Amino acid sequence: MNAQGRKEIAKHIASLEEIKSKFESMKDDEEEKYDNMPEGLQESERGEQMQEAIDALDNAVTSLDEAIDSLNEII
């Protein structure tokens, strides 16, 4: 890969890092809300939906980390 291609990949990596950071922040906010709920509400349908959202955001962050790592191998 030429220098221009590596430069382009580096720009995309920076974008992915920003997106990952936003998802991490959203996950942290959702976890804080969930943790502050009474236990009875955590076990409700709403609590389960919140936990599913937390898990999905965590999976997205992990996938972005893997993508970033793979792209860093190129540059």
Q: How far apart are CA 18 and CA 55, in angstroms?
A: 19
For the chain, what is the domain count?
A: 1
Q: How far apart are CA 59 and CA 3, in angstroms?
A: 32
**pLDDT tens sequence across 10-37:** 999 999 999 999 999 999 999 999 999 9
pTM, full prediction: 0.90
Question: Of 74, 64, 66, which is closest to residue 15 (Cα–Cα)?
Answer: 64
Residue 41: its pLDDT value, please? Answer: 96
Say if residues 10 and 51 touch (Cβ distance below 8 Å).
no
> Which range of residues forms the domain containing residue 8?
3-74
At 2, is the pLDDT very low, low, confident or very high (cuts 50, 70, 90)? very high
Residue 40: its pLDDT value, please? Answer: 95
Taking the C-alpha atoms of 30, 39, 52 and 57 in order, what is their torsion angle to the nearest 10 degrees? Answer: 30
At 64, is the pLDDT very low, low, confident or very high (cuts 50, 70, 90)? very high
